[in-house]
Amino acid sequence: MRYGRAPGWSWKRGRVTALLCLLAAVLLVFPGLVPNTPGHVGSLMETFLPWLGLAVPVLLVPAVLRRSLLASAALLLPVAAWAALFGGLLFSWGQAPEGTFTVVQHNVSDVNPDPAATARALAGTGAGIVALEELTAPALPAFEAAMAADYPHHATKGTVGLWSKYPLTGVRLVDIRPEGVGEGWDRGLRATARTPRGDVAVYVAHLPSVRIGATGLTSGRRDESAALLGEAIAAEPLDRVILLGDLNSTLDDRGLEPVSSLMDAPGRGLAFSWPAKFPVARIDQVLTRSATVTRVRSLPATGSDHLPIAADIRF
């Protein structure tokens, strides 16, 4: 009995796989092509955009099984697109450059079982400024007691707070309530930090949560709150601005454009922050105006469902 030789590699096979490789590359580079209706599908994809790179190993399997030179060559397209977009973010180790200013952002969770331990961990970072969200009234005394020695200046508005090594002035509420949300929903504050490098306007914000269900992504209130926050930042008279907050999405999400279009994105570091047990996205953000975030990184877990995020800033 004679057995035929296995077919060799060919440029004629694997056209469908090659087209899927091209589609993955196009979506990585131009995610805005995906419409946001119905169900905010575009925003949902943008939230987890780095994970679209998993298409590469998935598509590699049929390319090899089909012995397709065409599909194998086409795989270089999503690889190159992913590397161009996210490759530089992978390298976040090393010491902070001389003259940088470190800040920490953390959603501490309103059901944190040990707020005092979380506060001690944050105080131990040595950051110049620490911003907190989901800061409940019962947990507030624990944070005040644990951080007082290292952070003599702090301000809170509703469930957001700001701890600083430097004096804070001009503290006020920033109203980012979506329409239909009643009084007492206070999730934004603004203060001037009198740093050794000059005055800096610091904003702390916690945008509404989004929900993922059978109909897609529900983000209407988050998007409305982002627009209000963007208006406040646009009207800020100080040149230097730092925004720290749980924005409940990644910077690729078009729903955050009213904010992200006004600010500079961070440099190195993917710094996934949520969920803490298996982080898949950075929804905790540190953004700047007239300053540069040179790197951003995740810190060890606390009692929260988010990881703390540290960012080095150069003015």
Q: Does residue 186 register a pLDDT over 90?
A: yes
- Tell me: the pLDDT tens digits for 231-290? 999 999 999 999 999 999 999 999 999 999 999 988 777 899 999 999 999 999 999 999
The pLDDT score that the predictor gives to residue 2 is 55
Q: Domain limits of the chain?
A: 15-90, 101-314
Inter-residue contact 207 to 222 (CB < 8 Å) = yes
At 182, the pLDDT band (50, 70, 90 cuts) reads: confident
Give the per-residue pLDDT at 39.
74
- At residue 213, the pLDDT reads 67
According to DSSP, residue 177 is labeled: P
Name which residue leads in pLDDT, 45 or 189.
189
Residue 14's pLDDT is what? 94
Mean pLDDT of the chain: 92
What pLDDT sits at residue 100?
80
Q: Evaluate if residue 304 carries a pLDDT over 80.
A: yes
pLDDT confidence tier of residue 93, bands split at 50, 70 and 90: low
Q: What is the pLDDT of residues 53-63, one digit of tens each?
A: 999 999 999 99
The tokens for 215 are 């109909």
pLDDT in tens, 7-39: 789 999 999 999 999 999 999 999 989 998 777
Sheet holding 309-314, edge to edge: 153-157, 160-164, 129-133, 101-107, 309-314, 292-298
Q: What is the pLDDT of residue 96?
A: 56
Q: What is the pTM of this model?
A: 0.87
Percentage of residues of the chain with pLDDT beyond 70: 92
Instruction: Please list the residues that pair with 292 across neighbouring strands.
Output: 314
Q: Kindly report the CATH class assigned to 101-314.
A: alpha beta
CA 225 vs CA 40, 69, 208, 300: distances in Å? 16, 49, 7, 29
- Summarize the confidence of residues 83-106 as an average pLDDT: 76
pLDDT band, residue 183 (cuts 50/70/90):
confident
Contact predicate 256/284, CB 8 Å = no
Please choose, from the candidates 151, 126, 164, 156, the residue with its C-alpha nearest in 3D space to the C-alpha of residue 140: 156
pLDDT of residue 136: 97
| Helices and strands of the chain, counted as H and E runs | 9, 13
The mean per-residue pLDDT over the stretch 218-225 comes to: 91
Residue 97's pLDDT is 59
Q: Quick check: 142 pLDDT over 90?
A: yes
> Cα separation of 60 and 4, whole Å?
25
pLDDT score at 211 = 77
pLDDT greater than 70 at residue 215:
no
Lowest mean pLDDT among 145-154, 191-200, 213-222, 252-261: 213-222
Q: How many residues does the chain have?
A: 315
Hey, what are 143's tokens?
């944070």
Predicted confidence at residue 40, as pLDDT, reads: 78
List, as one string, the DSSP characters of 72-120: HHHTHHHHHHHHHHHGGGG---SPPPTT-EEEEEEE--TT-S-HHHHHH
